Each structure stands twice: as structure tokens, then as C-alpha cells.
Structure 1
Amino acid sequence: MNAAQVVLPALGPALPELILAVGALVLILYGAFKGEKSTEGVTVGTLIVLILALFAVVSQPLGAKVTTLNGAFIVDGFARVMKSLVLLGSAAALLLARDLFERERIARFEYPILILLSTIGMLIMVSANDLIALYMGLELQSLAAYVIASFHRDNVRSTEAGLKYFVLGALSSGMLLYGASLIYGFTGSVSFPGIVTALRETSGLGVILGIVFVSAGVAFKLAAVPFHMWTPDVYEGAPTPVTAFFASAPKMAAMAMAVRVFVGAFPAVTDQWQQIIVFVSIASMALGSFAAIGQRNLKRLMAYSSIGNVGYALIGLAAGTEEGVRGVVIYMAIYLAMTLGAFAVILSLRRGRQMFETIDDLSGLSRTHPWIAFLLAMMMFSLAGIPPLAGFFAKFYVFAAAIKAGLFTLAVIGVVTSVVGAYYYLRLVKVMYFDEPQGGYEPMAPGLRIVLGLSSVVVVLFWLVPAPLVGAAGVAARSLF
């Protein structure tokens, strides 16, 4: 048996990441030779590479568990489901960006490649089985994200967004790395199974301190309180398709990372990290519900909405049970559909090269564009948690897991903040259906139509066929316990 025969089976579990990496290298060379004329070809090539990686993920047996790279990389049911969501989010972000970037004359072949590199980092985050692999994936994802936040170089707000994201992101990465070094120092291992074994024998103040610092880094990537401060400014300043990307795929990877770290590495000290997650969840739900009430900018509104939704998803993680993790997976999948659908509508609010981003710009949308208004209303009702739309079931699963785990106060606070948050979601519906129109908007681009259509099918019809997602989420949760 030669070296190639040994290496290829060992790297088999990382086939989706290898497809993305090879694809990125090929597309970079193509773009470098063809120059700016290659933008369209690189975008299409990136979509093809993402689809191939998605096919590689879903073709693996859902229930199998495989490790490679000396145990640093794991592929199980949880990884496969969350990777699928990440790849879908990245592909949708590319579809959302195409039309606007061409009209703004900022279409460059580097953008889809940066999305591709960020996606590689996210997939590594999902499958990381030790602290070093986790940090490598996190940094690869973050470095590409810093660049695309300021991709519109001639726009002051975009440049400011990229700088804020970079400075605060570097701080959070340092905190996470410091926490990881403390955990390694007190357990003698960086691998999650090794940490589990060490904590069964002893756990001191140093480990708890390390968990606190790791939690801070994870909370920043999730945009959870109290490390949410970058979110509204970056969401508002970055180009809208970039904002849609930040609100979708990286959220899937960050939540998967949180579940992988706390459930996979620290089950022996659940009582310790559970207190942190409960606090972060309550604070995020409260801030996301109350701070959004006064917002007039749609992108800032979606920023606070994302903070609140992260809080709801963390309810499932706080439960620390198989039912809780299943609730997290279901919630994040439905949140992905709701968010992408909402941003598809926001990106369609344009007249010529003039983009509109305020709530008042939705005035009378039901009379000028009735179908778009109806679908956005469904997204808002779903985000508010109104049955029978998908958002209701997303909250139902995480609240049920919290109640089963005895976290009654957390579940009650989640219900109360959901009622408060419904106000600003329903306000958008009121503006669309009861205010006087300010003029029509241009027809939606094909990419926006595709994303809005698929998202709407999930949000509106989930209650008819919930079994595929619920079943996949159940398999994903069981693979961690």
C-alpha cells in the first residue's frame, strides 16, 4: 500500500472541505488569469463547488461517526446536518449578492472566493474535535468575514463596519484562545474526549475560568449579549448581501461550535456552564426584544432580531439534553429560512440604483407588490412565533426542552420576550398593509426570487411535512450523547 492509498481514506471524512479548498485554489487561478472578466464565471463556479460539497455531505451515512487527523476532526450526524445548513446559507448569500453588486459596480471575482474560504472555516468549526482545530476554523472563517464586511471600498459605512468587526473580532479571538490555554493547562489535553476524561477526575477554578473565557469568544461569534455590540453597526454598514450572509451561514457554524464545545467537551461540568448559557440567553432575548422597538432601519432591526433569535436557540443548549440539542438544530434551520427570505425582500426594495432600507419604505407594499408583501408578512409572523408557521414550532421545541430540563423560569422569560418582540415584527405588517404607498419598486432579480421562494416554502409549509427536519435533528442530537 503506497502513501496515497493511506492518505486518501484518512482524509475521506473531510471530503467536503477538500472539495471547497481545491475549488477555491482553481477559481483563484482562473480569476487571476482572466481578471475582472472572470467575475461571472467564478460566481457560477463557486455555486457549483458549494453544491458538490453539499452532495458530499448528504451522501455520507447520517448515523455514522468517524474521526480523522488524529481525532481532531469528527464527522457525525450533528456535523452533517449543520454543515448542510452552512452550505445552503453560503449558496443563498451568493445568489442574493449577484444583482446588487453588478448594479453598484463592485462585482469582483474575489467575493465568491472569500465566501468559499469562509465556508471552509465554518465547516471546520462544525467538525472540530479539539481546541486547536476549533481555533483554526474560527480564524479562517473570521478573516474572510472581516474583508467582505468592508468589500464596498468606496463606501465609508462599509469600511467602518469592516474595521469595527476586525478590532472586536480580534479581541474575542484572543479571549477564546486564552480560555483554551487555561483549559489545556488544567486538563493536560486539547482534544474534547481527553478533556472529558480529565474533568471526570478533577475540575478546579482554573477550568471554570477557562470555560468563562471560551464562552466569551463563542458569544461574540453568535452576537449574543454581552458581546453583541458590533452587530447593529456591522449589519447596517456592510453591503446588504454581506449582511444577509453574516445573519445566515456563520450563525449556523457558531451555534454548532457552541454545542460541540459545551456538550462535547464539558458534560462533566454542565452545572457550571449552564449558568453562563442561561444568563446569555435571557440577556439576548431581552435586548433583542426591547432594543429593536425603536429601530427604523431594516438592517439594524434584523441585527437585533438575530440577537434575540440566538437567545431563543440558546435555551435548547442551556437544557444540556438530547431534546435541547434537537431543538437547537430545528430552530437554526428554520431561522436560516426566515432570515434569508426577509433579506431577499429587503434587497428588492430599489428604484434604479437607489436602495431603500427603512421601515417606512415598505409603506403600502401590499398594493404595489401584493405577493412580496404577503411573503414578507409570513416571514414576520413566523419570526414572531405565530402558528402554524415554522417559527412557532422552532420556539416550541426549545421551550419544551427547557421545561423538560426543569428550566421553567427560562422558558417563561422566553415566552414573555416573544410577545414583546412580536410588536416590531407586526409593525412591519401594519406598514405594508395599512399605510399609503410611496411608489412601486423594480421587479425582483432571479436570484432573489429563488431564495424567497424556497424560504417561503419552508416557513409556510413546514407544519405539513415536519418529519424530515425533525428526524434529521433527532439523529444529529443522538450523535452527541
Structure 2
Amino acid sequence: MTPIQSVLPAITPVLPEIVLSVGALLLVLWGAWRGERSAESTNLGALGLLIFTFFLVVSQTGTVTTLNGAFIADPFARVMKALILIGSAATILLSRDYFQRERIDRFEYPILIVLCTIGMMVMASANDLISLYLGLELQSLAAYVIAAFHRDDVKSTEAGLKYFVLGALSSGMLLYGSSLVYGFTGTVSFPGIVTALNGPASFGLVLGIVFVAAGVAFKLAAVPFHMWTPDVYEGSPTPVTAFFASAPKMAAMAMTVRVFIGAFPDVTAVWQQIIVFVSIASMALGSFAAIGQRNLKRLMAYSSIGNVGYALIGLAAGSEEGIRGVVIYMVIYLAMTLGAFAVLLSLRRKDRMFETIDDLSGLSRTHPWLAFSLAAMMFSLAGIPPLAGFFAKFYVFAAAIKADLVTLAVIGVVTSVVGAFYYLRLVKVMYFDEPKAPYERIPPGSAIVLAASSVVVVLFFLIPAPLVAAAGSAAKSLF
């Protein structure tokens, strides 16, 4: 056997990450050589790289571990990586027109998105606490920079600083929790931790799980570690906000499922209480705090907090059916969020972007298709059938009831009703208020993302089987 043949089996599972890494380095060299003239070609190169990697990911089969067990490629990782890549590619499509108009169109931005994506993909495939942390930090460091990408804007700089300071705190908590877990189990490997936990959890291990949960809750923007979300969403450039609300959410949820289902399946009773509390608090705050918001980006921030709470209901169930519900929920949430932000990025007159609810007044009469698409997203986020959002909530609520978490499911239904108020308020403003001057035409990138999202949200009920089967296969690989 030649050296190359002996190395190939170890490299193949990590091939998508390697391709992205090499591509990112080539894009850096290209940008450094061409300077600011390379912005257009770097965007296209990054988009092509993400699409190529997507096909690499979906072409993989089976369950394989490599890098001494630190990295796992299984159906769950593939589904979550596919969602991450879709979110990142959509962000680049949404960003182009905005950055050109704001005159901050620089080649570094798509490269940072690619680097962030590599970190997120490692998070989805992490099979020990060290690889998990490495992926998390690679994603976070790139995210801190793009939050403050509009260097001349005070709000953007403030958003980047807040995200960095609070992110560093959460990373410290995650590391401290990981060190406690290692200290009381003698290993950082998820399968090794499962083997070491052959009895009741010690107090030190429980403390470690609590700190790890705090670290992952920050990345999920779940209560009580949500404090950065509204300010960072409002201050960041709008395409960056769309990115934060989509792809990193997929990675954070994948990481959370990996940690609790992969490493601590035998002490479910310990972490289940934490997840139930975080879920209830996130749903409640996301529903009630958004009622008084007038800024659309802050509204979407609280909406994302609430949606994380609903997705965590499936994790709290701790069952295969629950994880299937989580995967389905995240797929549909990605479509709804990207569709909503595609509309927000179209609310522009000349050189001014609009970001308040009142700016949507009479949109149905000036831009009927845009209003219809945003109304579909809002109805879906509210969970109104037959739109996709209804089925997303149905699957996680059904899993909770089956796991005897009836109270949690009931609280989810109640908070959904409360949350429907502010979603439907947007529809009321678009269809019943007096119209304002029409906006400019929707940019091509936003139109593509909005059309794809609308198809998923509106027509999901006609062909749900492929997604449900993929989610079921992903969940089964974890048990």
C-alpha cells in the first residue's frame, strides 16, 4: 500500500472541510494580488466553493470516524452541514447588492464567511470536546469580525465589540465545563465519556455539564445567555444579521445535540432539566419581549430566541423522535428566516435602508408579491397551517408528548399563540395601513433566496416525505 493510499481513508471524511480550507487560502491570495478589484470575483469564487462543497457533503455515505476519533461523518452531520452551507451561500447572495450600495464591498467578507463555515462544519462533526472547541472558536472569531465589518458605522463596531466580549466569556465557561468533564471521566472523547459514565453522575460532573450547557446556550442565543442577540442583530449590517440568524444557528444546534446525545445519553435526567428550563425561558422571552419592538431586526432577534426554545423541546425529549423533530424544525426555520431577511434587504429607497415596522405600511399595494411572501413567512413563523412552520412545531410537540413532557408542549403552544400577535401585526401593517412611497426593485440575489424560501414554506405540506426521511435517518445515526 502506497503512502497516499494509506492516508486516503483518513482524509475522505474530512474532504469537504479540506476543500473549503484550501479554497479560502486561494481566495486570500487572489484578493491580496488583485486588491479591491477582486471583490466581485471573490464573491463568485466563495459562492462556487460553497456550492461545490455542498455536493461533496451530500455525496458522502455511511458513518465514519477519523482523526483518532475526534471527527465523525454520519447522516446527522451531513444534514446539518448541508443546512450550514445553504445558509452561508444564501448570505453571500443577499450581501452583494447591500455592500455595493453601502460602499463596503471588500474581498475579505466572503472569505470570512467561508472560514466561519469551516468552523461550523467542524462543530457539526465534532466527536470530542477539543474538536468541538476548535470548530466553535474558528466560527466565532470570523463572526466577531463580520459583525463589525462596517467599520465606519458606530452601531456595527459596537455590535462586534459586544459579541466579542460576551463570546469570550461563553468560551471560557465552555472550556471550564469541559475541563470538569475531563477531570471526572478521564477522557474528552464523546464515546469515551459514555463508557466512563457507568453509574450515577458525580457532583463535579453535573457542574461540568452545567457549564458546558451555558457555553452552548450562548451560541444558540438561548435564555439566559441571549443578552447579546438584539444589540448584535440591530447593529450588524443587515446581511450579516441574516447570516447570524441562519447558518450559525444550525451549527449551534448541531453542537448542542452532539454534546448531550453523543456524550451524556446515560445521564439524561441531569441535562434534561437544564434543557427544559432553557426552552421554556426562551419561548416565553421570545414571545413577550418582541411585542413592544418596532425595529424589524430586533424583532427577528427575539423571534430567533423563541424559535430556539421550540427546537430545544425536541432535544429535551431525548429520543430519536425528538431529534428528528429538531432537524425538521431547523430546516424549516432556515427557510423562514432567510425568506424574511430577503424581504428586509429589499426595503430601500435610493440610499436609505428601512428597518422599522411602520416602513412596511401598505406594502401589499405597492409590492404585492413581496408582501405576500413576507406574510407567508410571518404566518409560518406563527405556526399557522398548512404552512411549513406548523409542521415544524407539530413534530417537536409530538415528540415531547410522547416523552411525557406534556407541560412543556402545552407551554410551547401557549407561547406560540402569544408570539402570533407580533407576527400578525406585520401582516396587518402591510395589508391594512396606508401605503407609503414604493421601494426599489428587489435585488437579484434577494429574489433568488426569497423565491426558494417561499417554495419551501408554502409547498412543504405537499411533499414532506423527503425531509422527514432525511431527518429520521439523521436522528437514527445518533442512537
State TM-score, norm by structure 1. 0.99
Counterpart residue identity of residue 106, structure 2: R
The residue number in structure 2 matching 1:422 is 420
Partners of 2:8 and 2:74 in 1: CA distance: 19
Counterpart residue identity of residue 92, structure 2: L
Partners of 2:430 and 2:168 in 1: CA distance: 40
The residue number in structure 1 matching 2:44 is 44
Query: How big is each residue's C-alpha offset from its partner over 1:337-391, in whole Å with a ceiling of 9 and x where there is no partner?
Result: 0000000000000011100000000000000000000010000000000000000
Deviation of 1:4 after TM superposition, in Å, equals 2.6
Alignment check: 8 A CA contact 1:19 1:52 kept: no
Counterpart residue identity of residue 263, structure 2: A
The residue number in structure 2 matching 1:180 is 178
Match of 1:267 among 265, 268, 288: 265
Partner-residue secondary structure (3-state), 2:65: strand
Give matches, 1:202-241, under 5 Å. 203-241=201-239
Counterpart residue identity of residue 466, structure 1: P
The residue number in structure 2 matching 1:335 is 333
The residue number in structure 2 matching 1:455 is 453
The residue number in structure 2 matching 1:9 is 9
Query: How big is each residue's C-alpha offset from its partner over 1:411-470, in whole Å with a ceiling of 9 and x where there is no partner?
Result: 000000000000000000000000001110000010000000000000000000001110
Partners of 1:89 and 1:426 in 2: CA distance: 26
Deviation of 1:8 after TM superposition, in Å, equals 2.5
Counterpart residue identity of residue 279, structure 2: S
Alignment check: 8 A CA contact 1:93 1:244 kept: yes
Deviation of 1:5 after TM superposition, in Å, equals 2.4
Match of 1:249 among 241, 247, 250: 247
Counterpart residue identity of residue 54, structure 1: F
Partners of 1:202 and 1:381 in 2: CA distance: 45
Deviation of 1:203 after TM superposition, in Å, equals 2.3
The residue number in structure 2 matching 1:79 is 77
The residue number in structure 1 matching 2:192 is 194
Counterpart residue identity of residue 176, structure 2: Y
The residue number in structure 1 matching 2:98 is 100
Partners of 2:9 and 2:108 in 1: CA distance: 32
Structure 2, gaps ≥5 residues long: none
The residue number in structure 1 matching 2:471 is 473
Match of 2:146 among 141, 145, 148: 148
Within the alignment, does 1:119 sit opposite 2:133 as a pair?
A: no
Query: How big is each residue's C-alpha offset from its partner over 1:215-251, in whole Å with a ceiling of 9 and x where there is no partner?
Result: 0000000000000000000000000000000000000
Partners of 1:162 and 1:2 in 2: CA distance: 48
Partners of 2:98 and 2:162 in 1: CA distance: 23
Give matches, 1:272-291, under 5 Å. 272-291=270-289
Deviation of 1:202 after TM superposition, in Å, equals 5.1
Deviation of 1:200 after TM superposition, in Å, equals 1.6
Deviation of 1:253 after TM superposition, in Å, equals 0.3
Partners of 1:128 and 1:85 in 2: CA distance: 16
Alignment check: 8 A CA contact 2:200 2:267 kept: no
Partners of 1:375 and 1:232 in 2: CA distance: 24
Partner-residue secondary structure (3-state), 2:92: helix
Deviation of 1:85 after TM superposition, in Å, equals 0.3
Query: How big is each residue's C-alpha offset from its partner over 1:53-108, in whole Å with a ceiling of 9 and x where there is no partner?
Result: 100011112xx110000000001110010000000000000000000000000000
Partner-residue secondary structure (3-state), 1:477: helix
Match of 1:363 among 348, 351, 361: 361
Query: How big is each residue's C-alpha offset from its partner over 1:178-200, in whole Å with a ceiling of 9 and x where there is no partner?
Result: 00000000000000000000012
Partner-residue secondary structure (3-state), 2:384: coil
Partners of 2:341 and 2:169 in 1: CA distance: 29
Give matches, 1:267-416, under 5 Å. 267-416=265-414
Deviation of 1:143 after TM superposition, in Å, equals 0.1
Q: RMSD of the alignment, in Å?
A: 0.6
Alignment check: 8 A CA contact 1:90 1:249 kept: yes
Partners of 2:6 and 2:48 in 1: CA distance: 29
Partners of 1:387 and 1:262 in 2: CA distance: 32
Partners of 1:201 and 1:361 in 2: CA distance: 59
Counterpart residue identity of residue 28, structure 1: V
Structure 1, gaps ≥5 residues long: none
Partners of 2:218 and 2:91 in 1: CA distance: 21
Query: How big is each residue's C-alpha offset from its partner over 1:121-157, in whole Å with a ceiling of 9 and x where there is no partner?
Result: 0000000000000000000000000000000000000
Alignment check: 8 A CA contact 2:147 2:236 kept: yes
